[in-house]
Amino acid sequence: MVLAEELAKQQRSISVAEFFEKNKHLLGFDSPTRGVITTVKEAVDNALDACEEAQVLPDIYISIKKTGPEIFRIIVEDNGPGIVPAQVPFVYGKLLYGSRFHQIRQTRGQQGIGISAAVLYAQLTSGLPTVVISRTGTKEPAHKFEIQIKIETNEPDIISEQPVEWDRIHGTRVQIEFKSTMSAKKKLLEYLKYTSVVNPHARFRVELDDESFTFERVSQEVIACPVAIQPHPHGIEFGQLKRMATASDEKLIDFLVNGFSRVGKKTAQEMCDKSGLKATAKVKGLTAEELKNLLAAMQSVAVPAPPTTQCLSPIGEDLIRRGLDKEFQMDFVAARTRPSSVYSGHPFAVEAAIGYGGKLPPEGNAVILRFANRVPLMYQQGACAITECISNVNWKSYNISQQGLPMGAVLILVHVASTNVPFTSESKDAIASIPEIEKEIVLALQDLGRELKTFLSRRDRNKLAEDRARAVCAVIPEIAAKVSEIVEKPVVDTTPIEGRLMKKLIAKKWTRDGKVTIEVNNYTGSDVEISVYDISTDNAADADMPPAFSTEMEGQFTKVWKMAIPKQTVWRVTYTGKGGGMLDIRGVEDTKKMVVDLDV
């Protein structure tokens, strides 16, 4: 008894803020290093979501500066719609306060924890309040706030508030200072790069201490903001149903028809019948027991899948390709957007892309980019369903080596968009294993794998042809020269071998004794009219055949000759120079021509 009383003295409610103070890792603040990324991520997510809602092209400025020993100041500024002054303290100074939690549509942020957790983290490590400036339009002045969170009550603590001059017409700027390190700089830039890939309509300007980076937008189209839908009877839980019922003045049948997606009169009646409730009963008056029966009935009656298109906003195959092209220079990119689908009443869509070659690292595991609702997932790759799906695909059958994960110069992007992304934890690092989602991911990857295989085999064929051309045009003449020297006979002419084997238009370029020669042999059966493009540091001023025109850019001269070459004849030009650079023939299809630089 005494003990119980003693204990009772200690028992009291815990504020969410207090709870998170003790469980920072749940929100991605487990280490000072990670704190920077989480903060930037939450602020950028909010900015992108806000711009999307306001239908403006995001222009986001991010600055990270060291202001004291181990103290960093993070500023994120957007051109979104701004926040009305009365709401600012709640958005930043109260955990679990948000506009999107109750909506059923694809958004980046959901619970309204992220940015206020950063405010809390700043307050705990540096003791400095967070500074927010926001402006909602030309007619309104900007307001500046200094905010903290009252930890015991989870209420905002406004330290100061005043109107200020601000050059942005609308938007929000948040400045947070906390203890951290910049050891995760590489990861941070990676995060921004990946974010830029899946948000090709956004521009990011970044200042890291003294360095600045810009991730430019490649699309000028504002993305359509996903429209919220009603909950689906199969995807609802008891608590939500109870809350909706309490708030409703309607009769049961109307409540079902108006409150849920894909429920018509007939389906609603069936649900009423199954649960043994009257269609005309007021939902407000239903007991917990009755609601339980109703829920069971709702989930057992067949209901068409929820509408998926308007509540989801997949990036689209074209924009994924452009986004990847912009940030990774690769030889091949293909993207696939799968038709949207549903798991447990939640709409989702899977998108994937594969890139190959170019500047990707040729060895080691493939580069894997995971996204959920356009947000890059930076941690816990091993625990993520996406990674597991990638390992489960048999890449060897697409001519890609594999040791668990695919290996080599391969990039794989997977984006899962959903009204409710099933994360494994609140820090939103990894997607949980949901069979419906996994199936879609694997289908998308297999589809892309086949496309990559086609590309690789075509490339190998071209390689073979090129290899042959190099042997015939570059090496055989050298063999001829050496062999003729050994047998002490006149140098044997190898052009007949070339002509017989290649039956093409062959352009050769070589440099000897400071003279560059370009030779075009027409071994085809017809006369051709072509242009020869020669780009190098040589200006070809003394060319024995002056070019049709010549332009210079940054020390590179582009010389163009236009001419007709009758079949089985040769055209040749010589000028003083160092050679190198690029040579191309235009005016004849790719399969009919071959360009060989003999100096290589």
Partner 1 sequence: MSKEELDARSMKALIGIANAWYDQMKDGEIPSISLPTRTKYNIEYDDASEVWKYGDKESLRTAATAKSATHLLKMAYVIGFVKQQLIENRSSTLREMYYISEGWKRAKFGAQDESNFLVEDLEIISDLPREGFHLRPEENGASIYGPMRIREPTRRGLKMIHCQDDVGSAGYSIPNNVENLDLVDHDAKFVIAMETGGMYDRLIENGFDEEYNAILLHLKGQPARSTRRLLNRISLTWNLPILVFTDGDPWSYRIYASVAYGAIKSAHMSEILATPKAQFLGLQPSDIRDYNLPSDKLSEKDVEALNAELTDPRFATDYWKKQINLQLELGLKSEQQAFAARGLDFVTKKYLPARLTEMGVI
What is the binding site for partner 1 (CB under 8 A)?
Answer: 464, 467-468, 470-472, 474-476, 478-480, 482-487, 489, 492, 494, 496-497, 500-501
State the nearest-atom distance from the C-beta of 596 to partner 1, in Å: 11
Q: Which amino acid is at 155?
A: E
Q: Which is nearer to partner 1, 158 or 475 (CB)?
A: 475
State the nearest-atom distance from the C-beta of 50 to partner 1, in Å: 57
Q: Which is nearer to partner 1, 56 or 492 (CB)?
A: 492
Q: Which is nearer to partner 1, 302 or 487 (CB)?
A: 487
User: What is the C-alpha to C-alpha distance for residues 470 and 493, in angstroms, rounded to an integer?
Assistant: 17
Which parts of 223-352 fold into alpha helices (H)?
A: 238-246, 252-259, 265-275, 288-300, 317-327
Half-sphere exposure for 264 (CA within 13 Å, toward CB): 5
In sequence order, what are the residues at sequence separation of 6 or more whose Cβ sits closer than 8 angstroms to the Cβ of residue 76? 40, 43, 44, 47, 60, 61, 62, 173, 174
Q: Which is nearer to partner 1, 63 or 484 (CB)?
A: 484
User: What is the C-alpha to C-alpha distance for residues 241 and 243, in angstroms, rounded to an integer?
Assistant: 5
Q: What residue ranges in 167-215 does DSSP mark as E strands?
A: 171-179, 203-208, 211-215
Token pair, residue 194, equals 């990946």
State the nearest-atom distance from the C-beta of 494 to partner 1, in Å: 6
Bridge partner residues of 145 (DSSP): 132, 161
Q: Which is nearer to partner 1, 225 or 474 (CB)?
A: 474
Token pair, residue 182, equals 């910049």
State the nearest-atom distance from the C-beta of 594 to partner 1, in Å: 13
Q: Which is nearer to partner 1, 436 or 599 (CB)?
A: 599
Interhelix angle for 252-259 vs 238-246, to 10°?
120
Per-residue burial over 335-368, b if 16 or more Cβ lie within 10 Å, else e, is bbbbebbbbebbbbbbbbbbbbbeebeeeebbbb
User: What is the C-alpha to C-alpha distance for residues 575 and 563, in angstroms, rounded to an integer?
Assistant: 17
Q: Which is nearer to partner 1, 208 or 492 (CB)?
A: 492
Q: Which is nearer to partner 1, 197 or 473 (CB)?
A: 473
State the nearest-atom distance from the C-beta of 475 to partner 1, in Å: 4
**CA 308 to chain CA centroid, nearest Å:** 21
Bridge partner residues of 552 (DSSP): 557
User: What is the C-alpha to C-alpha distance for residues 40 and 42, in angstroms, rounded to an integer?
Assistant: 6
Longest pairwise C-alpha distance within the chain? 117
Q: Are 504 and 486 in contact (CB under 8 A)?
A: no
Q: Are 80 and 56 in contact (CB under 8 A)?
A: yes
Q: Which is nearer to partner 1, 169 or 480 (CB)?
A: 480
Instruction: Name the helix (H) or strand (E) containing 164.
Output: strand 155-164
- 3-class state of residue 402 by DSSP: strand
User: What is the C-alpha to C-alpha distance for residues 497 and 380, in angstroms, rounded to an integer?
Assistant: 59
State the nearest-atom distance from the C-beta of 512 to partner 1, in Å: 12
State the nearest-atom distance from the C-beta of 508 to partner 1, in Å: 15
Bridge partner residues of 350 (DSSP): 416
Half-sphere exposure for 153 (CA within 13 Å, toward CB): 6
State the nearest-atom distance from the C-beta of 524 to partner 1, in Å: 17
Q: Which is nearer to partner 1, 305 or 480 (CB)?
A: 480
Q: Which is nearer to partner 1, 359 or 482 (CB)?
A: 482
- 3-class state of residue 553 by DSSP: strand
State the nearest-atom distance from the C-beta of 70 to partner 1, in Å: 53
State the nearest-atom distance from the C-beta of 466 to partner 1, in Å: 9
State the nearest-atom distance from the C-beta of 386 to partner 1, in Å: 40
Q: Which is nearer to partner 1, 224 or 475 (CB)?
A: 475
User: What is the C-alpha to C-alpha distance for residues 499 and 570, in angstroms, rounded to an integer?
Assistant: 11
DSSP labels, 428-479: --SB---HHHHHHHHHHHHHHHHHHHHHHHHHHHHHHHHHHHHIIIIIHHHH
Q: Which is nearer to partner 1, 517 or 531 (CB)?
A: 517
**Nearest by Cα to 205 from 197, 217, 190:** 217
State the nearest-atom distance from the C-beta of 582 to partner 1, in Å: 20
User: What is the C-alpha to C-alpha distance for residues 407 and 353, in angstroms, rounded to an integer?
Assistant: 16
State the nearest-atom distance from the C-beta of 600 to partner 1, in Å: 10
